[in-house]
Structure 1
Amino acid sequence: MPTSCPTGQHVHHDVYAAQCPCRAMLDLLANKWSALAIGILEDGPQRFGELQRLLQGVSPKVLTQTLRRLEDFGLVDRTVYPAVPLHVEYALTPLGRSAAVPLNQLRAWVENNIDQAFALRREA
């Protein structure tokens, strides 16, 4: 039976299948810091310090981990410029720009619906 999935578990990718590598990508994109970093990088390349300043509340460790994962999945490019001090910029790849479209819609939906969600929220 031919398979297109690297796991060999199924023919087509399916985020509902436990072993499908789609799950790791979905997990990455559903992460708030990933979604927010991609949103900031839509405006163009950013240095680490600027990303950290714009992503209020993120620790340097978490931002580093997030950017590494985004880079590992081919969503972000990291460019090092030889300078003193070292100059590093992060930018969306074409794949990252394509992921930015639905994430931008999700961020807008959240901003437009948060008041209603809080009004309907049940107290725990």
Structure 2
Amino acid sequence: MQDGTFHSPGHSEETWTRGDVFASQCPTRQLLDRIADKWSTLILVALGRGPIRFNELKRRIEGVSQKMLSQTLKSLERDGLVSRTVVATVPVTVTYAVTPLGRGLIASMQAMIDWAETQMLQVAQAQADYDGRISAP
């Protein structure tokens, strides 16, 4: 059994407790690594607007490659944040949607997005100040 896990009497599944997020094997850190990257964030926000097909999602997220989009969707699906629905049509229709678990994450992300949108001028000013100090002789 890994550190940070224990068996509950009468339950066969492992229950996670809070671990040391600074430790590389911490389950919380591993999940944060997956959901905090730019592609996961953008995909979840895009899917938060409603179910969407792969190619439309690729068009909506500027700069994402087909390979990266596919890999990220698979990871998000594995984590239970995104669902994938296949309809037997010609050609096959595949639609992605946010799960209830994913909706909870999007709500948390929205606070971060709101902060970024309201603080961008201050961040830009701090960057300009920093760049000015670094480039000054």
Q: Which bracket does the TM-score occupy, shorter chain normalised?
A: 0.7 to 0.9
Indicate conservation of the 8 Å contact 2:53/2:95, yes or no. Answer: yes
Percentage identity across aligned positions? Answer: 42
Relative contact order, higher structure (CA 8 A, sep 6+): 1
The 5 A counterparts of 1:39-78 are 39-78=45-84
Size of the alignment, in residue pairs?
118
What are the superposed Cα offsets for residues 67-93 of structure 1, whole Å, 9 maximum, x if unpaired? 011011110001111011110000111
Partner of 2:121: 115
State the 1:10 CA deviation. 2.6
* TM-score, normalisation: structure 2: 0.80
Provide the C-alpha distance between the structure 1 equivalents of 2:33 and 2:52, rounded to a whole number of angstroms.
23
Letter matched to residue 10 of structure 1: G
Letter matched to residue 105 of structure 1: A
The 5 A counterparts of 1:90-109 are 90-109=96-115
Provide the C-alpha distance between the structure 1 equivalents of 2:109 and 2:35, rounded to a whole number of angstroms.
8
What are the superposed Cα offsets for residues 31-55 of structure 1, whole Å, 9 maximum, x if unpaired? 1111111111111111001111111
Structure 2: gaps spanning 5 or more residues = 6-16
* TM-score, normalisation: structure 1: 0.87
Which stretch shows the higher mean deviation, 68-77 or 16-25?
16-25
CA RMSD of aligned residues (A): 1.5
State the 1:95 CA deviation. 0.6
